[in-house]
Amino acid sequence: MAVTREVGAWQGRGIATVGDIPSETGRFRIHWQTTNESPAGAGTFKLTMRSAISGRTLQLVVDHQGVGAGTADYDEGPRTYDFLVESANLDWKFRVDETTGAYVPGSSSASPAKR
């Protein structure tokens, strides 16, 4: 049976590197939201998953303009991760949940959420 646990949640405005998440599975569900865009039409949000050891980019998880929200699934494998947030003109927040135990292949996608 699959078990999901929250491994971290972050919020802010602007550019940040957050995380340092040791993962046994590398199976994540990432919930993100952007709010308070000012000026209207000028907000950008990119969320990149990286290796916390080397800083190497593993996946662009979200590339979004404006206010919005979404969920992205990711399956990379065990390692320590961090996230690079690149944003302008809006507030952002995201939460990372890790799935452990039994896993259903095909239920995860590493495609970035884009609007």
pLDDT in tens, 32-57: 999 999 999 999 999 999 999 999 99
Task: Number of helices (H) and strands (E) in the chain: give both, helices first.
Answer: 0, 9
Give the separation between CA 37 and CA 81, rounded to whole angstroms.
28
Spell out the domain ranges in the chain: 3-114
For residues 21-40, one letter each, b for 16 or more C-beta atoms within 10 angstroms of the residue's C-beta and e for the rest, the string is bebeebbbbbebbbeebeee
User: 38 — phi, psi (to 5°)?
Assistant: -155, 120
Question: pLDDT (tens digit, 9 = 90+) per residue, 6-32?
Answer: 999 999 999 999 989 999 899 999 999
Q: Report the predicted TM-score, pTM, of the whole model to 2 decimal places.
A: 0.83
pLDDT more than 90, % of the chain: 74
CATH number of this structure's domain 3-114, picked from the four choices 3.30.56.10, 2.60.120.380, 2.60.40.60, 1.10.260.40: 2.60.120.380
Instruction: Compute the mean pLDDT over every residue in the chain, rounded to the nearest whole number.
Output: 89
